[in-house]
Amino acid sequence: MTKKKLKQIFFPLINSFLFIFFISCGFGFDSPLSTFDAQGPVAQLQKDLFLFVFWLAVIVFFLVEGAILYASYKYRQKDEKLPAQIHGNTKLELMWTVLPSIIIAIIAVPTVMGIWKTQVMPDEDNSLIVDSIGHQWWFEFRYPQEEIVTANELHIPENKDVIVNIESQDVIHSFWIPKIAGKIDMVPNHQNKLWIKADNPGIYYGQCAEFCGIAHALMKFRVIVHTKEDFEKWKNDMRTPPVALNPGSEEDEGRKLFIGNCSMCHTHDSYKKAAYHKEIQNQNIRWEEWKKDKEYSAIVSAPNLTHFGDRLTIGAGLKENNLETLSSWIENPDNIKIGTRMKNHAAIYNSEDQFLTSNEIDQIAKYLLSLKPDKVNVITYTNNN
């Protein structure tokens, strides 16, 4: 092989390798779902382990490919003579059995240590416990210690161990916050546990990572990491009634429409005392009803909308939460996410006599946006990861 030919093979090979590498990184080491921008000890450990194995593999790759290229060139056919036959060479056989075994043993040590470190849960008494339930296609978050329930936005304090009890109500989903922790399956009738901890306040992206139906790619969530004080504030907010509405206002009209058309599936008042257990009960009833009649059940499990006006996004992390996107969603969820049970089951989409006018849709959206704790202090978010 000539030098020119070698170049023709070698450079495209390296380029495609680098191309695939950077594509896999999402074009940037700090993009929202990048695991290279670790923001917590669990993600950091996994990243370190990945890089260790990666660079080891790079060394092996260049040694093996180098040896192949070198041998192909050096021992290329020069005449008609049969080359020396080395089949069954004990030295070589030993070498390529022992060397990979050593490499695998080297990789096994930090891997097994990492598994132990991340699979042993921290002390429950000193941790925040969150139950996360996967639904087609949104995430429910329950705080059993605090008796708070919310959806699609997980609030946690910085630098605190959080144990997430992970389950699914319907099919298998997967819970993944790339910058904070690894992913784990959300399985029906089986609880998985994930330890997470975030180093810095900010907003992080979560994503379902297991194909779970038509809207799988659109099943996202946000993790809002607060300072300790802001987290206390958030917990108090979740127990505070919303801003009172003026009778006859657009928001108040929206409230009536919401009660009449939406509140069978969406709870909007879990700030009340004892609301937590009632909501769990109600979600179970909704679920059982849907299971009994998947085509026509009048109620289905649905995201809790308490203090919805404070949510950053709608449709499970898909669009910014504002009047325009929210009205568009209520008008027809398919505008933003296809396949929702809301679209399939709610009478406002299926019974002609219950269709809403665009004015009524706007009123409901305005009502939902008004659902904020009645207080002057607003939590401010400092960065956007």
Which residues are near ligand CUA by CB under 6 A? 134, 137, 173, 208, 210-212, 216, 219
The C-alpha angle 270, 314, 369, rounded to 5 degrees, equals 60
Minimum CB separation of residue 168 from ligand CUA in Å reads 8
Q: Which amino acid is at 156?
A: I
Query: Is the CB of 333 or the CB of 373 nearer to ligand CUA?
Result: 333
From the list 107, 116, 113, 118, the residue with the least C-alpha distance to 183 is 118
Shortest Å distance, C-beta 68 to ligand CUA: 41
What is the pairing mode between strands 173-177 and 202-208? Answer: antiparallel
Q: Which of 294, 59, 6 has its CA nearest to residue 286?
A: 294
Nearer to ligand CUA (CB atom), residue 138 or residue 308: 138
Residue 116 C-beta: closest distance to ligand CUA, Å: 28
Q: How far is the CB of 134 from ligand CUA (least distance, A)?
A: 6
Q: What pairs with residue 183 in β-bridges?
A: 176
Distance CA 148, CA 84 (A): 76
Q: How many CB atoms lie within 10 A of CB 347?
A: 14
CB 186, min distance to ligand CUA, A:
7
Q: Smallest gap, in angstroms, from Cβ of residue 188 to ligand CUA? A: 12
Q: Count Cβ atoms below 10 Å from residue 53 Cβ, excluding itself.
A: 15
Q: What is the DSSP string of 350-378?
A: H-GGGPPPHHHHHHHHHHHHH--BS-S--
User: Toward ligand CUA, which CB reaches closer, 144 or 339?
Assistant: 339
- Diameter of the chain by CA atoms? 100
Q: Which of 200, 204, 147 is nearest to 178 (CA)?
A: 204
| Closer of 166 and 275 to ligand CUA (Cβ) | 166
The nearer residue to ligand CUA, 343 or 372, going by C-beta atoms, is 343
Amino acid at 227: T
Q: What CA–CA distance (Å, rounded) separates 144 from 348?
A: 34
| Shortest Å distance, C-beta 208 to ligand CUA | 3
Using the minimum distance from each CB to ligand CUA, give the nearer residue, 15 or 191.
Answer: 191
Nearer to ligand CUA, 134 or 178 (CB): 134
